[in-house]
Structure 1
């Protein structure tokens, strides 16, 4: 079996011709330096270029923020914190079981890497008799002729450069327009927080206060000094310093219980890392990698039928002959190959929302997914099944009756809406319905009637004639709805214009296109460019960083194993993912569009994304009783609800009703579905629901009880309000029957 590169480029050309262009966007690109390439909008460091630039950035296990003159130290440096599990906050009732939410406190500034020249006050003297204000000499207003000193704050600023999928450089400047004074290479999973000083005087501060600061008598290696820092909270941090100039080594002294300062200007690196225990083995592991640091990362991957591997490889600087120390999340550990597994260390640090991170001493990781969902197609599918579904004549009859009624609905009225999200859901629904008629009911005549209507409805979007057309904006570089440009509202259509939820929105269109192209291959050539534009804009985005029109992997995070929905919105708890099922739908759509359009790399990439997504969902989002990554007093919620970088909340953005929160046979294991059903919906509780979520829940029940699901959907008094706007009764019947629910 030949190996398939899963990251072959989709294309390099401009967006589809029907999509216009404009040079502006409502959100300014604050502090971004010379980024000619497309800007990744949904990445972990976005808070540094949004809003006030002082909200958190989570690299895991550390979090960083720009102090911006605040706190008890009034520092202008970059603060570093790490929160242990016993510091997490639970609420609203911390004694509840389960609790609704948990988060790690923000504003904890364990160690602040700064410089004496940042945010300094200067004294200016002036001749008060020489200044005239509204005809009066200032000396007359002050009733004195003496020169008066005035204190003026020279504010530090921050900028960003080299914005990539896994990394960014954060720069501290002594004042606007000055060259970088300190540069922080920020990389997901970095084992050390590294500050690169450019002839400034290092100042190390702490809001937790220093209990002791001691230089270790024996350097880890020539030219690398090591210090132990113990804070008043009892936590131990290690600090390493290395000069890279003729100025010589740095001389650090503790001047107060909140400040450690060098005696003069320094060019070189200072690194800090939290030591979870004081064992010699833990310290020696840190020592073995200190002096080297990651500057960026790349991902590559290959598959061979149902087996695949993907690798993360880091670029590095400093003492580059020494191996990197990088932190892996639980889902990484599960899929490490043998070589990478051998490089695990004993060092573990708590993350904010994803359990324990484990330090790996290696410049690259290789991970395997050995059961890619290659056999999954458009039909109902079960991972353990070796053959496709069988339908009895009676089941076909019931499905056909439902489909014949649904296919006559007004598709244009349901799809040409003010919302790209709801329009896409409806297109996907009708496409699934027509597939059901064609391949399951096997009525090509009726299917063709529906297909003609569906292609007409889809063409509205391909020709960009919907109510709020799409536009390619060249500020951030991406395709967005014009809804916010027209209305002036940032959150219209769930913030699509602000890069919010694009993988949810585009996934439905891509899925519909995959089915249309499957049913009518002659349709593909005229529509391929438009569909690929959506694919390139989003999380598979373009797998090539050479694409000048779109960033690599806008929403899908190859480190975290899932997407981040939040676009260019400042957020105190970081990016979030609130609909893991629609994240999986996008990956599935990518897979099926790749299969239909003949793009083998895209199909393989979709398979890999689905496998990784399922692994991350089952670790962090869909919580079986055996889960050990989320707090024990939260697991009984069964699902995460909204998972932020710093917080998990068992709720949704549109309500707290339990059916909203709980709402693929690939990701949702039978055991999980059973636990969830027994926790919330069994013994008649599901029948107290009287809206579209009732249908969703019964479709979910089909995974463990297809007979009950079939009975629900096939009943003679079935109510239309039990179907979500993106759901088809015909498909739900086919799904339940395909899993064995219909009588023979």
Structure 2
């Protein structure tokens, strides 16, 4: 008979000095995945070898018409492409203030605006060249996890005339001119243009553009050859140089009283960003190191978001200036004068395993005898369900949820109900069902496609429907889809270590590499496809052009994916992977409670919006209190609750849950909700009222239709059983 593991899961021993330093693997994805060299989405103007970041802030530059904005925070950039108020062929730079936001109608229940967004297409300044015109082409190269080069060419056969290194948080928009004649245009109109009599640094020419909207922009020019940037104002829309220029032009908005700090930082610019990190006990640190060009003796001016500066170490905090600029959906950014930042996460959830967990009490790995007696018959009944049938779907998302559901029941039966025999019968069926996927024989097998570099569903290839399985083929939602498989595999491998064969480990590791590859040494997958170490959460939006940038509608499934990576790392004893999962969870918890989940104390998002309690769909440029599948309040709030996991209380704190429940679901309102959403709401309630949740889930009249397809009554009861303790 198989020996089932009943020991609590323990954190893996020491991680490396840099938990991002080693790749998960460097080998080609296992042969079970058919390789495709084509993809339905062409790589428009993409230069250089892959793999390529599909879910990154710069993706609009190689999608669709290539002229939707890229949100670098606090600025946004878009290729004018002969359009807009300037009709320029250069790069348009925009920055919007809080006063320019547009709000949707007021919601009757809360008084909060249904959405807020920032205007698009304001071309404050455009950096262009006289030589650019209708034959201009745009290419991208050096595509990395947090940066890219965007190039403008006179035509598709010419070398780049202007190169823009774009890096998240950059304090200047920098253009590298390669012999083009500079033209600076505006759609807002120049009020005054002033050339400084003395440059801020040797060899730098400075202009100040005061626009008709009252905003001030500083423009700096530097050429290694010593040629000054000599601009002539033609009219209130155009200033141009008299001759070709080889050098850099930098643009920065002055929010007020910032000129001396901006001046001092001119001449240096970022060209990339590298993430490194450490883990020691419950303390995690991560460092964003900016690769630099230009003046080596000048420190970079970069903008940090609220979740960054809240967790800065003392050195980085000292480098933070008084300069602030509004971002689109992330509050006020603060300028930091430093070439790297270090953030500290002091309370990583290292004690969190598969058992219900609490931020103050830790894991709860035992149940009372009366709870065991109540839950065991439920587990027995649910484990008699057909997991093979429930997971055999045409969707990786729904299949993964079904596998995760049964994994949680098996764990509960084995460790919490102390019934290894029952768990073993369920585990045998779960392993059989999982084998369909581990051998890639599901309805739509996965391909490894080398055009972009990733693991995708074959559904869109075979059906022609680009929205099949929520757009998995187009790189939508991979961390959601694969996160459920990674979690299920972590449980299986924990309960039965003999299941951790080379083939099964490689299969799951390939999924982890797809969503969360830590290293450039892995040439088959981009670094950190989904999780954005600048924003502190993931982006679900793949290869679709969009005016409002990338987006994500389920913050809780983002946390689920990080938790799954952590637990898979623990199961296979990969200390670095486990540490990265812990760190991601900690950063997610911090960022969600600033940008996604709102108590009345939230000072980051607009006051008119926080009454919604959740962001709804968070885009780079807007928040919309809705979902992609409907506007019912249980959908909008509930998609940020599911699935219920040990990590739930960590990322969704009690004070938030209390306010959200009082806003939408108390006084019997939750009982009017239908279907699986009702169970989701009551599972979430367990954070603040486990007794009421336990009563709901153990009610003799409980209707199985109140269970979402990804969760079991067994797990809900075990999770809420602390009401007995």
Aligned residue number for residue 487 of structure 1: 463
Q: Any conservation in 1 of the 2:15–2:576 contact (CA below 8 Å)?
A: no
CA deviation profile, 1:560-582 (whole Å, cap 9, x unmatched): 11100001010110000110100
* Mapped partners of 2:224, 2:309: distance in 1: 35
2:587 pairs with 1:612: yes
* Mapped partners of 1:604, 1:255: distance in 2: 58
* Mapped partners of 1:639, 1:2: distance in 2: 37
Choose the corresponding residue for 1:529, options 495, 506, 509: 506
Aligned residue number for residue 79 of structure 1: 92
* Mapped partners of 2:653, 2:229: distance in 1: 56
Aligned residue number for residue 144 of structure 1: none
Q: Any conservation in 2 of the 1:483–1:497 contact (CA below 8 Å)?
A: yes
2:650 pairs with 1:650: no
How far residue 546 of structure 1 moved from its aligned partner, in angstroms, is 1.5
SS at match of 1:527: helix
Aligned residue number for residue 89 of structure 1: 102
* Mapped partners of 1:475, 1:73: distance in 2: 36
Aligned residue number for residue 45 of structure 2: 31
CA deviation profile, 1:191-215 (whole Å, cap 9, x unmatched): 0000111111100000011111001
SS at match of 1:348: strand
Distance 1:28 1:373, change over 3 A: same
Choose the corresponding residue for 2:484, options 508, 520, 532: 508
How far residue 416 of structure 1 moved from its aligned partner, in angstroms, is 1.1
Distance 1:625 1:93, change over 3 A: closer
Give matches, 1:304-383, under 5 Å: 304-383=280-359
How far residue 442 of structure 1 moved from its aligned partner, in angstroms, is 1.0
Give matches, 1:187-226, under 5 Å: 187-226=167-206
* Mapped partners of 1:268, 1:477: distance in 2: 34
Give matches, 1:378-417, under 5 Å: 378-386=354-362, 388-417=364-393
How far residue 93 of structure 1 moved from its aligned partner, in angstroms, is 5.0
* Mapped partners of 1:466, 1:407: distance in 2: 22
**TM-score, scaled relative to structure 1:** 0.93
2:595 pairs with 1:595: no
Q: Any conservation in 1 of the 2:138–2:151 contact (CA below 8 Å)?
A: yes
* Mapped partners of 2:27, 2:14: distance in 1: 29
CA deviation profile, 1:454-475 (whole Å, cap 9, x unmatched): 0000000011110000011111
SS at match of 2:500: helix
Q: Any conservation in 2 of the 1:713–1:732 contact (CA below 8 Å)?
A: yes
CA deviation profile, 1:408-446 (whole Å, cap 9, x unmatched): 001111001000000000000000011101111111111
SS at match of 1:397: helix
SS at match of 1:619: helix
2:225 pairs with 1:249: no
Q: Any conservation in 2 of the 1:111–1:207 contact (CA below 8 Å)?
A: yes
Distance 1:3 1:692, change over 3 A: closer
Distance 1:731 1:93, change over 3 A: closer
Aligned residue number for residue 261 of structure 2: 285
**Greater C-alpha Rg:** 1
* Structure 1 residue runs without a partner (length 5+): 120-153
Aligned residue number for residue 547 of structure 2: 572
Distance 1:436 1:2, change over 3 A: closer
How far residue 73 of structure 1 moved from its aligned partner, in angstroms, is 2.1
* Mapped partners of 1:545, 1:724: distance in 2: 38
* Mapped partners of 2:51, 2:604: distance in 1: 35
SS at match of 1:666: helix
How far residue 175 of structure 1 moved from its aligned partner, in angstroms, is 1.2
**TM-score, scaled relative to structure 2:** 0.95
* Mapped partners of 2:713, 2:287: distance in 1: 42
* Mapped partners of 2:363, 2:488: distance in 1: 25
Aligned residue number for residue 418 of structure 1: 394
Distance 1:3 1:491, change over 3 A: closer
Aligned residue number for residue 130 of structure 1: none
* Mapped partners of 1:440, 1:502: distance in 2: 31
* Mapped partners of 1:599, 1:530: distance in 2: 15
Aligned residue number for residue 147 of structure 1: none
SS at match of 1:21: strand
Distance 1:387 1:165, change over 3 A: closer
Aligned residue number for residue 60 of structure 1: 73
How far residue 350 of structure 1 moved from its aligned partner, in angstroms, is 0.2
Aligned residue number for residue 603 of structure 2: 628
2:122 pairs with 1:108: yes
* Mapped partners of 2:394, 2:107: distance in 1: 42
2:674 pairs with 1:690: yes
Count of matched residue positions in the alignment of Structure 1 and Structure 2:
700
Q: Any conservation in 2 of the 1:702–1:741 contact (CA below 8 Å)?
A: no
* Mapped partners of 2:312, 2:365: distance in 1: 34
Give matches, 1:704-715, under 5 Å: 704-715=688-699
How far residue 21 of structure 1 moved from its aligned partner, in angstroms, is 0.5
Choose the corresponding residue for 1:557, options 522, 526, 532: 532
Q: Any conservation in 1 of the 2:365–2:416 contact (CA below 8 Å)?
A: no
Aligned residue number for residue 36 of structure 2: 22
* Mapped partners of 2:301, 2:507: distance in 1: 43
* Mapped partners of 1:76, 1:735: distance in 2: 58
SS at match of 1:623: coil
* Mapped partners of 1:367, 1:91: distance in 2: 35
How far residue 318 of structure 1 moved from its aligned partner, in angstroms, is 1.1
* Structure 2 residue runs without a partner (length 5+): 1-12, 639-647
Aligned residue number for residue 723 of structure 2: 741
* Mapped partners of 1:547, 1:626: distance in 2: 42
Aligned residue number for residue 174 of structure 1: 154
* Mapped partners of 1:518, 1:315: distance in 2: 41
Q: Any conservation in 2 of the 1:111–1:206 contact (CA below 8 Å)?
A: yes
Choose the corresponding residue for 2:279, options 303, 320, 323: 303
How far residue 389 of structure 1 moved from its aligned partner, in angstroms, is 4.8
Choose the corresponding residue for 1:163, options 136, 139, 143: 143
Q: Quote the RMSD (CA, aligned, Å).
A: 1.2
How far residue 3 of structure 1 moved from its aligned partner, in angstroms, is 5.6
* Mapped partners of 2:526, 2:346: distance in 1: 29
* Mapped partners of 2:269, 2:620: distance in 1: 23
2:648 pairs with 1:677: no
CA deviation profile, 1:136-171 (whole Å, cap 9, x unmatched): xxxxxxxxxxxxxxxxxx421110010000100000
How far residue 390 of structure 1 moved from its aligned partner, in angstroms, is 4.1
Q: Which moved more, 1:383-392 or 1:364-373?
A: 383-392
How far residue 399 of structure 1 moved from its aligned partner, in angstroms, is 1.1
Q: Any conservation in 1 of the 2:283–2:347 contact (CA below 8 Å)?
A: yes
Q: Any conservation in 1 of the 2:355–2:363 contact (CA below 8 Å)?
A: no
